[in-house]
């Protein structure tokens, strides 16, 4: 409790209020003030979420830090917040990234600074709302509302083809969301007039209806993950988004989709989930293998990392739908790790882009000669992307593969192929960009990263290494919630 | 004296009529361009009506004049909202009309008469009084569309509106005469009773019903009876477009409720099938054709058509959820529509109409606040939370799903997805593109304040929609005696 408000409410509304405040600073004359306010809001936003972790009871799968008020009594909708071992980590991850994004955009964004910073802070609060909502309508409101700032961020501060990317991003996600809304309304009737997600976990639903609901949820969540074949918005959005937008998109927003599978699809329609797991696994494996091959041929660094994200998220959905604790916990760890790693990679690409105004691999070569400190960080993050033991990338992938072996050898084999392909596309890019002789005079003029950039990179490097060497604090938080989820799922709900 | 007291539910109507006639005369002596005395008098009249409606409130349903007139909670709520939106119309349109030399006494008096027509429609419980209210509204609107009489496009729009409106009235009247032939009465409740007893000829009733529904569809502007909507919205002076797209929608909603739901409830199976076709076609044509528009007023006209289709979906779903959500949808739509057309007028200036999509280019750089308000309006129209437009769609979809029309709900959301595209385009033009002109936007304090309240109301109601939803639900429940 802070000043009588519950922690989760503060985690949601504090960044949003700061966002409003920053917008009120107005035009670019007040840009320094906007930046300082944004940093203050982001850091405060992170600090208020720390008690969520330290005060978290790891021995129960029940919802904690619960807050419930009447909201729309006409439809029995409540302002109902709470976290369990699955969602708490994502709130932390999100709040952790907001200050980093603010620092990373400190000098880079020069036009309409206040609006940019405000959009990020508001989005941060809204994403916390998505992870904390236990009421379906409240969830939906946060889920949709976060599209608005992201749409503006891509469209205003993005690259050349930004309008196309922004509109595609918005319409893709809106389609899925609206279908989910119909599924939620059906559940409202089926449950006798409740919008509580926890009530939905207990409602009996016939198999045909379960399958239809699963498909509706799938449309919403698969687009966000994104899964093959609805992933095509992601490379466009990533390439055109400004660095901060890419970081949040990769590190946080993709996790929202996978979180939806865990919070909605799996517990609400467990029978349909089991029934259709084969399809999801197949799509996941296609993503893992095929998208990795697509990544191999990219000439644009951001596109390469974007496809790499799709491939890694394939791992996540694979882990979720093999329904054992290795798989699900591995998937969750992979989500967090991927947040750190992909965020860091986009940040590094942003650092180079700010200096060279190019994302083309061909325009680079021998960067290590001119930017040795930067090169060290970049190689570390690339190795984490590959899944080198000792980095965070290893833990999740290893657990998912272990889980997959228990189910089917071939799943595991195909999934493990990513270790080869991932190494291929990542290291080949590193070789062409970082190593070798200096290829052209633009590279010759590069200057190494400054203190601000070193700070952000070091924080992320510490996170990547820390999680890789000692993942226990992460896994023990989720352990009870995951095993209870699996027990819940094993019971038929027809 | 006793007789006068029994008339208390009618005080607002009587007051309005007297004031409208008085203002017509008073205005002769007002020569200033701003017409300030007349303007203030009209606003006072609207306020007085609101006061009378509130102070003469009686619980329950009161019938007057041999059941020609009914006063219930739904009519009170709708009337209050009509006064409010008429008052907003005046504030928005004052400067706009003044610089065009159109802010005349006639405009204001016609506005009051159209309001009287709406009030009669809202409170009628007899086919004749319903028709009378409708005609009073329509005749006032025809004249107002032609207000700018030297403009060819306005005159054309008025002509079209008049001819098609007269045709629709004819259809409606023909349908009503069939119903009269079958049931022998014109009282809404009596018609319902006769049909429910099975005393009327089914064929004749359904034959009449087709014409009634066609007439209503004309007035609602739903496909395939929508042809007048884009032309009239485009051709009329924006102030009049604003008026047409606001309070009359509330009146037409009441009109549909009185005729179909109260009067012809026993024929539900027949008219709900017709409405389904109208609703689906409207959502399809409205949303798809809107994409092709380059004129904002035309685009909003097609968007209206799509919104009316959504509103019909609520009526089709029926029951407390359905009718309550339809009323909520109508109210929210009026609020959004007022803001959108208000914004066009706000951005217009002498000799320049900001009704082209390109006029919104780069608005964020010229005026971030107005751009933000337009953003709220557009996202609300598209039904994206946290704006109230989402809850309007939400409650209608909820009603549809609980009534078992799941496929209809899915169709509705697919078309609203298409609809989202053209609303997004406005946001795109404002935020992503560079401005075409750098002319300064001079915002009048009155309308500037109002647009801010209007936009923020969409957001505030989006955060806390519960009370408005409950008001609509309770009003419909008490007026229709629903369980």
3-state secondary structure at position A300: strand
Residue identified by tokens 């009588």 is: A4
Domain that holds residue A215: 7-490
So what's the pLDDT on residue B141?
93
Chain B residues whose beta carbon lies within 8 Å of the beta carbon of residue A179 = 410, 413
Q: Identify the helix (H) or strand (E) that includes residue B366.
A: helix B363-366
Strands (E), A34-126: 64-72, 77-83
Q: Which of A305, A324, A327, A335 is nearest to A221 (CA)?
A: A335
Instruction: Indicate the residue of A163, A171, A181 with minimum beta-carbon distance to B397.
Output: A181
Chain B residues whose beta carbon lies within 8 Å of the beta carbon of residue A140 = 385
So what's the pLDDT on residue B110?
93
3-state secondary structure at position B65: coil
B326/chain A closest Cα distance in angstroms: 15
Q: Cβ atoms within 10 A of the Cβ of B288, count?
A: 16
Residues B466, A71: C-beta atoms closer than 8 Å: yes
Which residues of chain A from 69 to 88 reach within 8 Å of chain B, CB to CB? 71-75
Question: How buried is residue A84: exposed, middle or buried, by Cβ count under 10 Å (0-12/13-18/19+)?
Answer: buried
Instruction: Indicate the residue of B390, B397, B428 with minimum beta-carbon distance to A163.
Output: B428
Separation between Cα atoms, residue A43 and residue A57, nearest integer Å:
24
Q: Is the pLDDT of residue A158 over 80?
A: no
Q: Which of A357, A360, A250, A253 is nearest to A305 (CA)?
A: A250
B369/chain A closest Cα distance in angstroms: 10
Q: Identify the helix (H) or strand (E) that includes residue B324.
A: helix B319-347
- Asked if residue B251 lies in contact with residue B136, where contact means CB atoms within 8 angstroms, the answer is no
Residues B428, A166: C-beta atoms closer than 8 Å: yes
Domain that holds residue B246: 2-480
Which residues of chain A from 422 to 451 reach within 8 Å of chain B, CB to CB? none
3-state secondary structure at position A322: coil
B388 → chain A, closest CA residue: A141
- Asked if residue B19 lies in contact with residue B86, where contact means CB atoms within 8 angstroms, the answer is no
Share of chain A above pLDDT 70, in %: 99
Separation between Cα atoms, residue B46 and residue B82, nearest integer Å:
9
Separation between Cα atoms, residue A411 and residue A401, nearest integer Å:
8
Residue B445 half-sphere exposure toward CB, CA atoms < 13 A: 0
Over the stretch A478-493, which tens digit does the pLDDT of each residue have? Answer: 888 888 888 888 888 7
Q: Identify the helix (H) or strand (E) that includes residue B431.
A: helix B406-432
Q: Identify the helix (H) or strand (E) that includes residue B69.
A: strand B69-71
In a domain, A258, yes or no: yes
Instruction: Indicate the residue of B375, B398, B427 with minimum beta-carbon distance to A75.
Output: B398
Q: Which of A123, A149, A148, A154 is nearest to A252 (CA)?
A: A123
3-state secondary structure at position A111: coil
The structural domain count of chain B equals 1
B139/chain A closest Cα distance in angstroms: 39
Q: Is the pLDDT of residue A425 over 60?
A: yes
So what's the pLDDT on residue A1?
60
Chain B residues whose beta carbon lies within 8 Å of the beta carbon of residue A178 = 413-414, 416-417
B350/chain A closest Cα distance in angstroms: 28
R_g (Cα) of chain A, nearest Å: 21
Instruction: Indicate the residue of B386, B397, B424 with minimum beta-carbon distance to A141.
Output: B386
**Sign, Cα dihedral of B28, B30, B33, B34:** negative
Instruction: State mean pLDDT over A271-298.
Output: 90
Instruction: Indicate the residue of A141, A151, A171 with minimum beta-carbon distance to B417.
Output: A171
Q: Which residues of A266-296 are buried (b: 16+ CB within 10 A; e: fewer)?
A: bbbbbbbbbebbeebbebbbebbbbbbebbb
Token pair recorded at residue A301: 């660094």
Token pair recorded at residue B2: 């006793």
Residues B466, A73: C-beta atoms closer than 8 Å: yes
The structural domain count of chain A equals 1
Separation between Cα atoms, residue A7 and residue B217, nearest integer Å:
52
Strands (E), A126-225: none
- Asked if residue B133 lies in contact with residue B121, where contact means CB atoms within 8 angstroms, the answer is yes
Instruction: State mean pLDDT over A94-98.
Output: 90
In a domain, A288, yes or no: yes
Separation between Cα atoms, residue A10 and residue A4, nearest integer Å:
10
Task: Give the largest Cα separation in chain A, rounded.
Answer: 69
Separation between Cα atoms, residue B18 and residue B359, nearest integer Å:
42
So what's the pLDDT on residue A154?
83
Token pair recorded at residue A107: 């000098």
Q: Is the pLDDT of residue A441 over 90?
A: no
- Asked if residue A480 lies in contact with residue A85, where contact means CB atoms within 8 angstroms, the answer is yes
In a domain, A2, yes or no: no
* Chain Cα centroid distance, residue A207: 31
Token pair recorded at residue A372: 């040795």
So what's the pLDDT on residue A151?
87
So what's the pLDDT on residue B1?
55
- Asked if residue A253 lies in contact with residue A150, where contact means CB atoms within 8 angstroms, the answer is yes
Task: Give the largest Cα separation in chain B, rounded.
Answer: 69
Instruction: Indicate the residue of B413, B428, B466 with minimum beta-carbon distance to A181.
Output: B413
Residues A152, B431: C-beta atoms closer than 8 Å: yes
Contacts of B190 (CB under 8 A, 6+ apart): B67, B183
Question: How buried is residue B330: exposed, middle or buried, by Cβ count under 10 Å (0-12/13-18/19+)?
Answer: buried
So what's the pLDDT on residue A4?
64
Q: Identify the helix (H) or strand (E) that includes residue B274.
A: helix B268-291
In the beta sheet, which residues pair with residue B356?
A: B295
In the beta sheet, which residues pair with residue B80?
A: none
A154/chain B closest Cα distance in angstroms: 9
Separation between Cα atoms, residue B11 and residue B111, nearest integer Å:
19
Residues B385, A145: C-beta atoms closer than 8 Å: yes
Of the residues B428, B476, B477, the best mutation for testing chain A's interface (the one with the most A CB atoms within 10 Å of its CB) is: B428
So what's the pLDDT on residue A477?
86
Q: Identify the helix (H) or strand (E) that includes residue A141.
A: helix A136-145
Chain A residues whose beta carbon lies within 8 Å of the beta carbon of residue B469 = 72, 74-75
> What string of H, E and C letters represents the secondary structure of A206-266?
CHHHHHHHHHHHHHHHHHHCCCCCCCCHHHHHHHHCCHHHHHHHHHHHHHHHHHHHHHHHH
Residues B394, A137: C-beta atoms closer than 8 Å: yes
Instruction: Indicate the residue of A152, A162, A178 with minimum beta-carbon distance to B417.
Output: A178
A33/chain B closest Cα distance in angstroms: 18
R_g (Cα) of chain B, nearest Å: 21
Q: Which of A384, A383, A381, A356 is nearest to A370 (CA)?
A: A356
Separation between Cα atoms, residue A360 and residue A159, nearest integer Å:
14
Instruction: State mean pLDDT over A257-269.
Output: 90
So what's the pLDDT on residue A2?
63
- Asked if residue B282 lies in contact with residue B226, where contact means CB atoms within 8 angstroms, the answer is yes
Instruction: Indicate the residue of B410, B428, B469 with minimum beta-carbon distance to A74.
Output: B469
CB pairs under 8 A between A and B: 91
- Asked if residue A62 lies in contact with residue A84, where contact means CB atoms within 8 angstroms, the answer is yes
Mean pLDDT by 10 residues, chain B (483 residues): 80 92 90 83 93 88 86 92 93 88 88 94 92 93 89 90 92 92 89 86 89 91 89 91 92 91 87 92 92 90 93 90 92 93 86 82 86 91 90 92 90 90 89 81 84 91 89 88 77
Separation in Å, CA A293 to CA A305, A360, B63: 12, 18, 76
Q: Read out DSSP for A30-97?
A: GHHHHHHHHHHHHHHHHHHHHHHHHT--TT--S-EEEEEEEEEGGGTEEEEEEE-TTTHHHHHHHHHH
Q: Is the pLDDT of residue A3 over 70?
A: no
* Phi, psi (deg, nearest 5) at residue B449: -65, -40
In a domain, A278, yes or no: yes
Of the residues A29, A130, A140, A178, the best mutation for testing chain B's interface (the one with the most B CB atoms within 10 Å of its CB) is: A178
Of the residues A74, A213, A219, the best mutation for testing chain B's interface (the one with the most B CB atoms within 10 Å of its CB) is: A74
Which residues of chain B from 355 to 414 reach within 8 Å of chain A, CB to CB? 364, 368, 375, 379, 384-386, 390-391, 394-395, 397-398, 401-402, 406, 409-410, 413-414
Question: How buried is residue B292: exposed, middle or buried, by Cβ count under 10 Å (0-12/13-18/19+)?
Answer: exposed
Q: Cβ atoms within 10 A of the Cβ of A389, count?
A: 11
3-state secondary structure at position B142: helix
Chain B residues whose beta carbon lies within 8 Å of the beta carbon of residue A182 = 397, 401, 406, 409-410, 413
So what's the pLDDT on residue B392?
93
Token pair recorded at residue A82: 């709470």
Separation between Cα atoms, residue A381 and residue A391, nearest integer Å:
9
Chain B residues whose beta carbon lies within 8 Å of the beta carbon of residue A181 = 394, 397, 413
In the beta sheet, which residues pair with residue A360?
A: A300
- Asked if residue B93 lies in contact with residue B345, where contact means CB atoms within 8 angstroms, the answer is yes
Residues B384, A144: C-beta atoms closer than 8 Å: yes
CA angle A130, A467, A282 (to 5 degrees): 60
Residues B409, A182: C-beta atoms closer than 8 Å: yes
Q: Identify the helix (H) or strand (E) that includes residue B62.
A: strand B62-64
Chain A residues whose beta carbon lies within 8 Å of the beta carbon of residue B432 = 155-156, 162-163, 166
Separation between Cα atoms, residue A227 and residue B123, nearest integer Å:
55
Question: How buried is residue B269: exposed, middle or buried, by Cβ count under 10 Å (0-12/13-18/19+)?
Answer: exposed
């Amino acid at each position: 409790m802070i000043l009588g408000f519950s922690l989760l409410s503060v985690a949601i509304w504090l960044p949003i209020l700061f966002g409003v405040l920053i917008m009120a600073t107005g035009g670019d004359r007040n840009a320094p003030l906007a930046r300082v306010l944004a940093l203050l809001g982001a850091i405060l936003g992170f600090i208020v979420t720390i008690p969520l972790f330290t005060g978290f009871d790891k021995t129960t799968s029940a919802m904690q830090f619960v807050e419930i008020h009447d909201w729309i009594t006409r439809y029995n909708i409540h302002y109902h917040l709470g976290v369990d071992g699955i969602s708490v980590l994502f709130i932390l991850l999100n709040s952790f990234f907001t200050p980093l994004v603010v620092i990373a955009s400190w000098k880079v964004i020069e036009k309409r600074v206040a609006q940019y910073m405000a959009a990020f802070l508001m989005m941060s609060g809204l994403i916390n709302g998505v992870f904390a909502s236990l009421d379906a309508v409240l969830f939906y409101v946060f889920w949709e509302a976060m599209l608005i700032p992201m749409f503006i961020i891509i469209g205003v501060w993005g690259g050349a083809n930004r309008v196309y990317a922004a509109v595609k991003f918005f319409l893709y996600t809106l389609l899925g969301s609206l279908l989910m809304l119909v599924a939620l309304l059906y559940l409202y009737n089926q449950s006798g007039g409740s919008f509580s997600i926890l009530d939905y976990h207990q409602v009996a639903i016939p198999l045909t209806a379960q399958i239809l609901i699963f498909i509706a949820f799938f449309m919403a969540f698969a687009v966000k993950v994104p899964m093959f074949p609805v992933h095509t918005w992601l490379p466009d959005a990533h390439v055109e988004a400004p660095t901060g937008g890419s970081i949040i998109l990769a590190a946080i927003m993709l996790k929202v989709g996978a979180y939806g599978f865990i919070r909605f699809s799996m517990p609400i329609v467990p029978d349909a989930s089991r029934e259709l797991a084969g399809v999801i696994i197949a799509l996941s494996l296609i993503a893992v293998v095929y998208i990795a091959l697509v990544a191999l041929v990219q000439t644009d660094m951001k596109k390469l990392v974007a496809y790499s994200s799709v491939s890694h998220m394939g791992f996540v959905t694979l882990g979720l739908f093999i329904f054992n604790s290795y798989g699900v916990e591995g998937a969750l760890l992979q989500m967090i790790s991927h947040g750190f790693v992909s965020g860091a990679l986009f940040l590094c690409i942003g650092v180079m882009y700010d200096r060279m105004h190019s994302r083309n691999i061909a325009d680079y070569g021998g960067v290590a000669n001119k930017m040795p400190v930067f090169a060290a960080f970049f190689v570390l993050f690339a190795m984490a992307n590959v899944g080198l033991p000792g980095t965070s990338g290893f833990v999740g992938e290893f657990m998912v593969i272990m889980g997959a072996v228990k189910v089917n050898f071939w799943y595991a084999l195909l999934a493990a192929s990513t270790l080869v392909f991932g190494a291929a596309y990542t290291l080949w890019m590193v070789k062409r960009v970082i190593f070798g002789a200096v290829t052209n005079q633009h590279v010759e003029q590069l200057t190494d990263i400054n203190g601000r950039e070193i700070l952000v990179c070091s924080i992320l490097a510490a996170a990547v290494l820390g999680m890789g060497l000692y993942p226990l604090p992460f896994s023990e938080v989720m352990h009870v919630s995951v095993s209870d989820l699996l027990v819940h799922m094993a019971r038929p709900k027809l | 004296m006793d007789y006068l007291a029994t008339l208390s539910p009618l005080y607002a109507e009587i007051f309005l009529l007297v004031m409208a006639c008085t203002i017509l005369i008073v205005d002769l002596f007002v020569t200033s361009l701003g017409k300030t005395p007349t303007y203030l008098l009209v606003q006072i009249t609207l306020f007085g009506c609101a006061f009378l409606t509130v102070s003469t409130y009686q619980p329950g349903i009161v019938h007057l004049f041999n059941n020609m007139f009914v006063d219930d909670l739904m009519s009170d709520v709708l009337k209050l909202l009509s006064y409010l939106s008429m008052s907003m119309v005046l504030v928005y349109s004052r400067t706009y009309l003044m610089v065009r030399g159109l802010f005349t006494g006639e405009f204001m008096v016609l506005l009051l008469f159209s309001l009287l027509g709406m009030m009669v429609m809202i409170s009628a419980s007899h086919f004749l009084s319903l028709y009378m209210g409708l005609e009073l509204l329509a005749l006032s609107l025809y004249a107002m569309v032609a207000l700018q009489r030297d403009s060819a496009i306005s005159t054309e729009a008025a002509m079209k509106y008049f001819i098609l409106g007269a045709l629709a009235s004819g259809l409606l009247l023909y349908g009503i005469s069939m119903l009269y032939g079958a049931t022998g009465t014109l009282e809404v409740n009596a018609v319902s009773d006769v049909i429910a007893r099975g005393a009327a000829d089914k064929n004749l009733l359904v034959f009449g019903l087709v014409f009634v529904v066609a007439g209503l569809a004309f007035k609602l502007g739903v496909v395939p009876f929508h042809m007048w909507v884009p032309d009239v919205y485009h051709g009329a002076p924006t102030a009049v477009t604003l008026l047409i797209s606001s309070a009359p929608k509330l009146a037409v909603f009441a009109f549909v409720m009185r005729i179909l739901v109260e009067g012809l409830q026993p024929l539900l199976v027949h008219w709900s099938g017709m409405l389904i076709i109208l609703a689906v076609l409207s959502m399809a044509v409205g949303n798809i054709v809107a994409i092709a528009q380059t004129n904002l007023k035309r685009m909003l006209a097609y968007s209206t058509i799509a919104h009316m289709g959504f509103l019909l979906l609520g009526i089709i779903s029926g029951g407390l959820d359905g009718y309550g959500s339809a009323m909520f949808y109508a109210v929210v739509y009026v609020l959004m529509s007022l803001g959108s057309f208000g914004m066009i007028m706000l951005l217009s200036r002498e000799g320049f109409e900001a009704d082209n999509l390109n006029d919104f280019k780069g608005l964020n750089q010229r005026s971030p606040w107005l751009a933000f308000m337009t953003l709220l309006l557009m996202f609300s129209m598209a039904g994206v939370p946290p704006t109230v437009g989402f809850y309007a769609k939400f409650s209608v979809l909820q009603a549809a799903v609980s009534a078992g029309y799941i496929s209809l709900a899915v169709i509705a959301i697919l078309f609203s997805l298409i609809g989202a595209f053209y609303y997004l385009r406005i946001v795109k033009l404002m935020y992503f593109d560079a401005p075409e002109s750098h002319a300064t936007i001079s915002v009048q304090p009155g309308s500037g304040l109002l647009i801010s309240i209007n936009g923020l109301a969409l957001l505030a109601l989006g955060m806390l929609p519960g009370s408005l939803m409950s008001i609509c639900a309770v009003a419909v429940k008490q007026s229709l005696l629903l369980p």
